[in-house]
Amino acid sequence: MNKTLSFFSLFATGFSLLLSQNVFADEKQSAEQLYQQHCQSCHGINRLGSMGPALFPENLSRLRKNKASIVIGKGRVATQMPAFEQTLSKQNIDQLVDYIYTPADTVPEWTLADINTSHVQHFDQSKLPNKPQFDADLMNLFIVVELADHSATLLNGDTFEPITRFKTRFALHGGPKYSPDGRFVYFASRDGWISKYDIYNMKTVAEIRAGINTRNLAVSSDGKYAIVGNYLPHNIVILDTTNLTPIKVVATSDKDGKSSRVSAVYNAPPRTSFIVALKDVKEVWEIPYSDEGGVEVYKGWAHDYRKDGGEGKLENWKAEEQFPIRRITTEDYLDDFFFDPEYINLIGASRDSQNGQVINLDAKKKVATIEMAGMPHLGSGITWDYQGKQVFASPNIKDGRVTVIDMDNWQVIKEIKTEGPGFFMRSHNKSPYAWVDVFFGPNKEKVHIIKKDTLEIVKTLAPAPGKTAAHVEFTKDGKYVLLSIWDNDGAVIVYDANTLEEIKRLPMKKPSGKYNVYNKTHYERGTSH
Ligand code: DHE
């Protein structure tokens, strides 16, 4: 009897061992091997970051170890991070957690010299024609980023015919940014490459690697400068847009010296300044760039910039140093951002908080708290006029809702129920509708259309069953809408923005964002900035 039992228990143990070896075949691998097998393709060789962020203790300061195991096991919402709990054992996950929280033997650096060395001048701009080499309304062009094969399409926004298709760097992220005249477009890749593309000549003219792991870039309203925000190293890099040579590199740390990743950088046109959102410290920076005879600082904030404490006459004072930094202290960490159209208020939220904060950039303080459940995606928010006032609407990456907020008193006036969490939201001043996707979950194929004057969903489209439909952009005049079918075998679908009828389907390879030259360069209220 005992023998039988022990035979069965041995058999059972052996079977479960066998099972666990099948499921978690790499139980005995070293952490380094596990990293190479499962993490390197996204997080880069030597943990330096690529498509995913770099993985060093310095970069993980806001993520506790137990949270890191959950992220590895369950994946991370709204990112490309998959769940590994079916592939890796608990022990393997713990090994990986220990590994990424172990400092690197050598701290990865990307110095000004490295940046300069990476510079590539593909074409001499002065030798290229100053006239477009194709016929189209230059303000109604689109750039469509296609993630599947790291390409982009230049699209005619009147005929909806592609003008050209070209290779980009690996894994672009965030919106490309146009020069104010719309001739040049600047791209940022997750692994730090900034590319300048001459639309007139359909050529990538210059490139530089500004960081190891980059968030995004912004271009000044005069078109002279581009600012790049990095996760690794912790810094911002300001480039001369003429040929992308670096002018200034600033390490990002708070007033006490604590170093931080950069969440994102923005151009604030009415302020002629860049806004830098920091991730690991409770600070936002403002950097003026208008530099006619010394740097003009906005609204007499000389005392915020002066190193001598602000004594003496401040009127007409101009900073001697180019790109001086004005620090704005915040009450909480901010991971996601939106600006009102006047760029006076920054609306920010920490990923862990249920509330949004409204920070007045002039007064340098929080002026309101917005109660927002779930995880609003403020960065995709848009504004429009509703019943005589301006409202702000944000999709939510955790819950099926769009939150509509009265911008006079920052109260939520409506939660519009959707069929799942969404990522992107868009409209156009001339359109009666706002479009929001259902990016996550079983209804990812759906897109809701909200009537802006009733705040009701009036139509739900599912143009490609089973495939994610996401991210729309309007034409210059707001008459047509372009929607992405976010699939390797995907498409951009053109709709009549008023009748909501499909007009055309253009095959594309995982088209992500689409960016209309006019809407972007005119900071159209319904689009991202
Ligand atoms: Fe994005 C814009 C941050 C994941 C596609 N995303 C942005 C911007 C920020 C941001 C700060 C604004 C930059 C700009 O345009 O200058 N994105 C983040 C994240 O923190 C997050 C959640 C995690 C991460 O991995 O960084 C994230 N984003 C994604 C994705 O997984 C998406 C869907 C696929 C991808 O490309 O990686 C994605 N993000 C986009 C797109 C934009 C964007 C298409 C530009 C939207 C626009 O219309 O301007």
502 pLDDT exceeds 70? Answer: yes
Instruction: Look at residue 4 in the predicted model and tell me its pLDDT.
Output: 33
Question: Residue 318's pLDDT band (boundaries 50, 70, 90)?
Answer: low
Ligand 1 pocket mutation pick from 43, 173, 529 by most atoms within 8 angstroms of CB: 173
345 pLDDT exceeds 70? Answer: yes
Q: Which residues of 102-127 are buried (b: 16+ CB within 10 A; e: fewer)?
A: eeeeeebebeeeebeebeeeeeebee
Instruction: Look at residue 311 in the predicted model and tell me its pLDDT.
Output: 52
Cis check: omega of the bond before 176, within 30 degrees of 0: no
Residue 528 CB contacts under 8 Å (≥ 6 apart), including other chains: 175, 379, 380, 426
Q: Residue 295: in which H helix or E strand, if any?
A: strand 295-296
For residue 177, the ligand 1 atom closest to its alpha carbon is 16
- Answer yes or no: is the C-beta of 196 below 6 A from any ligand 1 atom: no
| Ligand 1 centre distance from Cα of residue 188 (Å) | 11
Record the pTM: 0.88
| Ligand 1 centre distance from Cα of residue 217 (Å) | 12
Taking the C-alpha atoms of residue 378 and residue 360, their distance in angstroms, rounded to an integer, is 16
- Segment 326-355 shows an average pLDDT of 89
79 pLDDT exceeds 90? Answer: no
For 7, other C-beta atoms within 10 Å of its C-beta total 10
- Answer yes or no: is the C-beta of 264 below 6 A from any ligand 1 atom: yes
Instruction: Look at residue 14 in the predicted model and tell me its pLDDT.
Output: 34
Q: What is the pLDDT of residues 451-460, one digit of tens each?
A: 999 999 999 9
**ipTM value greater than 0.95:** yes
| Ligand 1 centre distance from Cα of residue 111 (Å) | 26
For residue 264, the ligand 1 atom closest to its alpha carbon is 11
Indicate the SS3 state at residue 45: helix
Q: Whose CA is nearest to atom 4 of ligand 1?
A: 79
Share of the chain above pLDDT 90, in %: 72
Q: Whose CA is nearest to atom 9 of ligand 1?
A: 174
- Answer yes or no: is the C-beta of 80 below 6 A from any ligand 1 atom: yes
Mean pLDDT, all residues of the chain: 89
Q: Which residues pair with 278 in a beta bridge?
A: 262
393 pLDDT exceeds 60? Answer: yes
- Answer yes or no: is the C-beta of 175 below 6 A from any ligand 1 atom: yes
Q: What is the pLDDT of residues 102-121, one digit of tens each?
A: 988 776 789 999 999 999 99
Instruction: Look at residue 362 in the predicted model and tell me its pLDDT.
Output: 87
| Ligand 1 centre distance from Cα of residue 359 (Å) | 23
- Segment 274-296 shows an average pLDDT of 85
Taking the C-alpha atoms of residue 418 and residue 81, their distance in angstroms, rounded to an integer, is 24
- Answer yes or no: is the C-beta of 36 below 6 A from any ligand 1 atom: no
Q: Whose CA is nearest to atom 2 of ligand 1?
A: 174
- Answer yes or no: is the C-beta of 174 below 6 A from any ligand 1 atom: yes
Weakest mean pLDDT among 299-313, 354-368, 488-502: 299-313
- Segment 398-402 shows an average pLDDT of 95
- Segment 295-324 shows an average pLDDT of 65
Specify which of 102-116, 251-265, 283-297, 312-326 reaches the highest per-range mean pLDDT. 251-265
5 pLDDT exceeds 60? Answer: no
Which amino acid, one-letter code, is at 79? Answer: T
Question: Residue 303's pLDDT band (boundaries 50, 70, 90)?
Answer: low
- Answer yes or no: is the C-beta of 49 below 6 A from any ligand 1 atom: no
Which amino acid, one-letter code, is at 248? Answer: K
- Answer yes or no: is the C-beta of 249 below 6 A from any ligand 1 atom: no
- Answer yes or no: is the C-beta of 421 below 6 A from any ligand 1 atom: no
Query: What is the greatest pairwise CA distance in the chain?
Result: 98
Q: What is the pLDDT of residues 25-52, one digit of tens each?
A: 445 689 999 999 999 998 988 888 777 8
417 pLDDT exceeds 70? Answer: yes
Residue 526: Cβ-neighbour burial (10 angstroms; 0-12, 13-18, 19+): buried
- Answer yes or no: is the C-beta of 528 below 6 A from any ligand 1 atom: yes
